[in-house]
Amino acid sequence: MAVSVSNRKKVAELAGVSEATVSRVLNGIGPMKETTRQRVLAAAKQLNYELNAIASSFARGRSGNLGVVLPHVPKVHLFSTYYFSEILSGIGEEVRSKGYGLLLLFRDPNEVFDYASLFRTQRIDACIVLGASAIASEREGIARMAGQRLPFCVMDQRFDGLDVSAVATDHEQGSYEAVKHLIAQGCRRIGFLNGAPHYSNSVDRMSGYLRALREAGIEVDESIIYRGNYSRKSGTQAAEAVHADLGKLDALFVANDRMAIGLMQGLRELGLSFPEHLPIVGYDDSDVASMTEPPLTTVKVPFYEMGRLAAERLLDRLSDPDNESFAFNEILQTELIVRKSCGTHRSGESR
Amino acid sequence: MAVSVSNRKKVAELAGVSEATVSRVLNGIGPMKETTRQRVLAAAKQLNYELNAIASSFARGRSGNLGVVLPHVPKVHLFSTYYFSEILSGIGEEVRSKGYGLLLLFRDPNEVFDYASLFRTQRIDACIVLGASAIASEREGIARMAGQRLPFCVMDQRFDGLDVSAVATDHEQGSYEAVKHLIAQGCRRIGFLNGAPHYSNSVDRMSGYLRALREAGIEVDESIIYRGNYSRKSGTQAAEAVHADLGKLDALFVANDRMAIGLMQGLRELGLSFPEHLPIVGYDDSDVASMTEPPLTTVKVPFYEMGRLAAERLLDRLSDPDNESFAFNEILQTELIVRKSCGTHRSGESR
């Protein structure tokens, strides 16, 4: 059996013997314990098999990895946000059950990311884009990948005008139901702390909020619509403005739980109690939502299932490469979870 | 320029033209728009460059990926636990800044995982083992990898008797300081809800707890040492036993925040308030620790830094492959964070 120098080293490592021993066994030189000989031959056989497996995977152009490309946000511990951690848990479970690896890569959202090269260099077989927004550089990177008909999908973000597979949740309906619940409790002057508008799911939340008000014949008051960026800190920063507006607020709808929790902490420091002074509804049903005092009324988003489903659809496509019409657009539904933070509004109550 | 059939397809995809067009351009057949010709030539050149890059990476045996191997735990959303999410955030930041990918792979803790094959098949260049325990199958997998001198480290777990690089935190000292703080407040009958003993960091927490008691001349009462498994649910499940023992408890030390929060929820349902009825100290300083009411006194563990440091040490090794003596054993320190959950114990107070 012919082995190269570098392979000889690998066989030696695998068999737990010296390279010289490998040479002697493979060349049949000198005396050798039979157990050692067998170990070296088994290692050489296994290694040869695996080298063939690499070569064949190289020829087939398969890496065995599903790529997940995340935005790099300085100072943010991305995996520690409920949004990303749950989606990744769902992706991870599906990838594991199918014997794939999950290759995480980071992109600078302000640069056009070269997704296609990840496919050409055979680092990934399919790709999920997480946390994308509508800014031009992000859109351009995704448009280029779409132009090459590569197997990928985006998560929870619409790209109008691009033919892109996606898994998303109906945040318009989720927001509509949250605000409708507050209206049903007798609230009319309902404020809204939203996230940044370059995420389509912020835009959708706004649409749902406006639909619920419109349907109830409530005029929109722009002065009680606030802007955060989905971080807890941005919630805390909104506390002062919300506090100044208390006289014109029956309740507040907040676009995610992290901002709701930050806001409540900020308002608590200004002397407020919940839900007595201000009924609040959050969004996500993150794990902290049930741990706060009072527990948060919130909109449950099936993040885990979104991740699992996206991975499933892409890996199914890989096992059926002739299927050209694999484009998908899955929209999952939310569920309103009523806990104590939204209280039960009593109209005319003094604050 | 000679291109194979499969490469012709790739050039066509990259240039956004048909394969027939690629053939015509590369073979100089028939009329062709100059812009199309240029696009195909550029694509062929780029692809050739990248194929060479793959071939050369293949020859060098480098994947450009740092592997992270996680235990598969059915039904647990692993990335959503503070422990894993923070360590991964730290690893991810370091990997990103060095231009590597992060390949996540899952192991069944009850089987001997074949780490070495990940190296031999060139899927990873180095490896971090997360969430390992002292059970025989886990130890055997790590022992085999160590025997082949592969570049890897384990995180927050000791393997006595194995020569293994590690990044860990001094949980003996962290637990000692937490219990000492309760003693300084006048507590003497201090219970302990610990995690499973096959994690060395549970064993270390126990050592720190015992040292603090011993130093204060307090006799150990085995009947107020409880066992959970670091899940919130196991904390809630411990509530009944702790409630039955209230008469002999001045305070409780809990081995992580998740269990502390589950326990407090369980005890709250039995009518208890915190810290009035039972001062509690958690462990980890997870992000929920500051969001609960009352906020948790806890022991801050530098998970993010642990992850970052492990990735840094391994990637440094890769850039200096001749450095054979790269073994490391980094021990980081904890910090006691005093919030309201541990109250201020008043001796002899009736409950």
d(CA B108, CA B154): 16
d(CA A240, CA A243): 5
- Positions of chain A with pLDDT under 50: 1-4, 345-351
Phi, psi of A168 (to 5 degrees): -150, 175
Which domains does chain B show, CATH number per domain? 5-60 (1.10.260.40), 65-169+303-335 (3.40.50.2300), 171-300 (3.40.50.2300)
Cβ distance A65 to B103 less than 8 Å, yes or no, reads yes
- Measured between beta carbons, the chain B residues lying within 8 angstroms of A70 are 92
| Backbone region of residue B348 per phi and psi (left: phi > 0; alpha: psi in -120 to 50; beta: other values) | left
State which H helix or E strand residue A221 sits in: none
Contact at 8 Å (CB) between B3 and B41? no
Best B49, B65, B77, B340 member to test A by mutation, with max A CBs in 10 Å, is B77
Q: Which amino acid type is present at position B189? A: R
pLDDT at B3 over 50: no
The tens digit of pLDDT for each residue in B249-297 reads 999 999 999 999 999 999 999 999 999 999 999 999 998 898 888 899 9
Contact at 8 Å (CB) between B142 and B208? no
The closest CB to that of B53, out of A10, A58, A121, belongs to A121
Phi, psi of A261 (to 5 degrees): -70, -40
Exposure of A115 in the CB half-sphere (CA atoms within 13 A): 31
CA distance A45 to chain B (A): 13
| Percent of chain B surpassing pLDDT 90 | 68
Best B105, B145, B292, B296 member to test A by mutation, with max A CBs in 10 Å, is B105
Of the pLDDT bands very low, low, confident and very high (cuts 50, 70, 90), residue B92 is very high
Whether A331 has its CB under 8 Å from any CB of chain B: the answer is no
Give the CA-trace dihedral at A327, A331, A332, A338, to 10 degrees. Answer: 160
Q: Which residues pair with B286 in a beta bridge?
A: none
The tens digit of pLDDT for each residue in B122-136 reads 899 999 999 999 999
Cβ distance A86 to B79 less than 8 Å, yes or no, reads yes
d(CA A341, CA A281): 7
pLDDT at B25: 78
* Reported ipTM exceeds the 0.95 cut: no
Closest CA to A282 of A304, A303, A264: A264
Judged by average pLDDT, the poorest of A51-65, A178-192, B39-53, B182-196 is: A51-65
d(CA A118, CA A80): 26
Whether A291 has its CB under 8 Å from any CB of chain B: the answer is yes
Closest CA to B67 of B108, B137, B114, B118: B118
Whether A3 has its CB under 8 Å from any CB of chain B: the answer is no
Grouping H, G, I as helix, E, B as strand and the rest as coil, residue A60 is: helix
Judged by average pLDDT, the poorest of A42-51, A272-281, B99-108, B233-242 is: A42-51
* Cα radius of gyration rounded to whole Å, chain A: 27
Cβ distance A72 to B103 less than 8 Å, yes or no, reads no
The closest CB to that of B14, out of A64, A85, A148, belongs to A148
Closest residue in chain B to residue A88, using alpha carbons only? B79
Judged by average pLDDT, the poorest of A131-140, B91-100, B308-317, B320-329 is: B320-329
Whether A104 has its CB under 8 Å from any CB of chain B: the answer is yes
The closest CB to that of A104, out of B101, B148, B287, belongs to B101
CA distance B268 to chain A (A): 11
Whether B178 has its CB under 8 Å from any CB of chain A: the answer is no
- Measured between beta carbons, the chain B residues lying within 8 angstroms of A101 are 103-105, 123
CB pairs < 8 Å spanning A and B:
127
Q: How far apart are the first and last CA of chain B?
A: 87
Exposure of B306 in the CB half-sphere (CA atoms within 13 A): 30
**Omega cis (within 30) before A279:** no
Q: What is the mean pLDDT of the segment spanning B7-36?
A: 79
CA distance A46 to chain B (A): 10
Q: Which amino acid type is present at position A37? A: R
Q: Which residues pair with B65 in a beta bridge?
A: B101
Whether B106 has its CB under 8 Å from any CB of chain A: the answer is yes
CA distance A73 to chain B (A): 10
pLDDT at B28: 67
A:12-31 residues touching chain B, CB 8 A cutoff: 13-14, 16
- The vertex-A99 CA angle with A98 and A105, nearest 5°, equals 100
pLDDT at A347: 42
d(CA A84, CA A292): 21
- Measured between beta carbons, the chain B residues lying within 8 angstroms of A121 are 50, 53-54, 57
Closest residue in chain A to residue B103, using alpha carbons only? A103
Angle, nearest 10°, between helix axes B19-27 and B34-60? 90
Contact at 8 Å (CB) between B154 and B132? yes
Identify the sign of the CA torsion B50, B52, B58, B60.
Answer: negative
State which H helix or E strand residue A66 sits in: strand A65-71
Whether B117 has its CB under 8 Å from any CB of chain A: the answer is yes
Whether B45 has its CB under 8 Å from any CB of chain A: the answer is no
Whether A62 has its CB under 8 Å from any CB of chain B: the answer is no
Residue with tokens 């799911």: A201
| Percent of chain B surpassing pLDDT 70 | 89
Q: Which residue has the higher pLDDT, B247 or A25?
A: B247
CA distance A287 to chain B (A): 9
Burial class (CB in 10 A: 0-12, 13-18, 19+), B52: exposed
The overall average pLDDT reported for chain B is 89
